[in-house]
Amino acid sequence: MSQSGRVLVIYPDMYITKIGVFEGNHHLYQQTIIHDEDELNRFDQLIDQVAYRKQAIFEQLDLDGMNTSRLISVCGRGGLLCPIGGGTYQVNDAMLYDLKTNAYGEHVSNLGAILAYDIAENLNIHAYIVDPPVVDEMQKIAKYTGIPEIERASIFHSLNHRHAGRIAAKQIGAAYNSLKLISIHIARGITIASHQSGKIIDVTNGVDGEGPFTIDRSGSIPLKGFLAYISEQYSNVEDFDWNHLQQDGGLKAYLHTEDPSIIHSRLMQGDRHTKNVIEAQAYQIAKEVGAMSTVLHGEVDGIVFTGKISENDFVIDAIIPRINWIADVMVFPGKNDLEAMNEGVLEVLNNPGEVKIYVAEEAN
């Protein structure tokens, strides 16, 4: 590093906050703070959880003997912002405003930059985010929908996709910028992406309902059937709750559980319905991988799985036979969010000119 010190990384999720401390590339410390679900539910909005989570972070660091005075920067999980290019961004007022007002949607990821800034400000150091989910490097042709007034948007697990691409490049023994890759992130959400020349040029937007169904998301559904469903279930379309598709669909709707251990147990017992549903999910994921291979004109140097691999091994096992004819398949277990965030911060600490500044959309 060009300067000695430590980086604190913060990754808020639905009912947990992951934190880590790095010195250079050395991962000194990691802890997952599990929040009481009832305690979080007492807050009317996600933004109201900031003070509660911030206190929990300081208490955990203090309990584990981590000295915050040695920190030189703080990095938070990126949230829903206006479309921006990939890279490391310094948290500024424009970013905080868009996150605090949910200008581009409410999501737990919005808390990351706010927490990082609050902690960094007290220590008189900078706060950053790295490759937020709104990274938009999609080629123009990928944004057409068939309705001129509607464009496809790029919202996906960009942090993990990019990091997995770079790990794959090291395994292949080539520069990331020289490769054409397909990456599949499997966790609570599932997104698939195409990489070319160091850019992620097409993605499935899981937040807006694209792609395969997941643990609790419906994924892409037939428009005519969806409209008929809405008209049958609701007298007023405005009464429809989007969360029904985002939190009560997918495996949860078919199997009435979202617990991977229960699903795995049913598969081991030979439950035909469970097997059919898992095969259908694998089919949908494989079909999206095939579509992404056409984006790269069939010239694919590797296919990469990342995310919560151990919890979804039964799905991955069903996907691989459908896609391994396209290219070699690499599986990198674990969500490497903290490592990817730290690497992004190190890049700008060593090369200050690489730091990017967020500009609100209306100012662009």
* pLDDT tens across the length of the chain (364 residues): 446 799 999 999 989 999 999 999 999 999 999 999 999 999 999 999 999 999 999 999 999 999 999 999 999 999 999 999 999 999 999 999 999 999 999 999 999 999 999 999 999 999 999 999 999 999 999 999 999 999 999 999 999 999 999 999 999 999 999 999 999 999 889 999 999 999 999 999 988 899 999 999 999 999 999 889 888 888 887 788 777 778 899 999 999 999 999 999 999 999 999 999 999 999 999 999 999 999 999 999 999 999 988 888 999 999 999 999 999 999 998 768 999 999 999 999 999 999 999 998 755 4
Same domain, 103 and 229: no
Range of the domain at 170: 140-331
* Whole-number pLDDT of residue 360: 87
Same domain, 206 and 91: no
Q: Provide the whole-model pTM.
A: 0.89
Rg (the chain; Cα; Å): 21
- 1 occurs within a structural domain: no
Same domain, 50 and 168: no
Instruction: Provide the domain count of the chain.
Output: 2
CATH number for the domain spanning 98: value is: 3.30.420.40
Same domain, 172 and 267: yes
Residues 202, 192: contact at Cβ < 8 Å? no
- 204 occurs within a structural domain: yes
* Distance between CA atoms of residues 195 and 146, nearest Å: 24
**3-class secondary structure per residue, 97-164:** HHHHCCCCCCCHHHHHHHHHHHHHHHHCCEEEEECCCCECCCCHHHHCCCCCCCCCCCCCCHHHHHHH
* Whole-number pLDDT of residue 3: 60
